[in-house]
Amino acid sequence: MAVNGGRLGRATLGNWAGLACFHLTAIADHMRKHLAAADRRFMDETTAPGAQSGTTHNQEGFLLGDGVR
């Protein structure tokens, strides 16, 4: 927005984030019910590089995924 000359206040961004969370709760609830009803679940962890702020060193983080087969 700033590139195009528009300015957004913190309140506007906060309202947008709140509305997004509100609308995504239905999807999260559906996914939770689907995972809870499954006979088998699996968990996957993948390493991901991350930059440590203020230094030239990198740190490694993990991305975790939960699913149903």
Domain count, the chain: 1
Which positions ≥6 away from 68 have C-beta within 8 Å?
Answer: 34, 35, 38, 40, 41, 42
Strand locations in 1-69 (E): 41-51, 58-68
* Integer Cα distance of 69 and 67 in angstroms: 7
Token reading at 57: 């060193």
Is the CB of residue 34 less than 8 Å from the CB of residue 49?
A: no
Is the CB of residue 38 less than 8 Å from the CB of residue 67?
A: no
Give the predicted TM-score (pTM) of the model. Answer: 0.53
Per residue of the chain (69 residues), what is the pLDDT tens digit?
Answer: 667 778 888 999 999 999 999 999 999 999 899 888 888 888 888 888 877 777 777 778 888 788 776
Q: Which domain holds residue 45?
A: 2-68
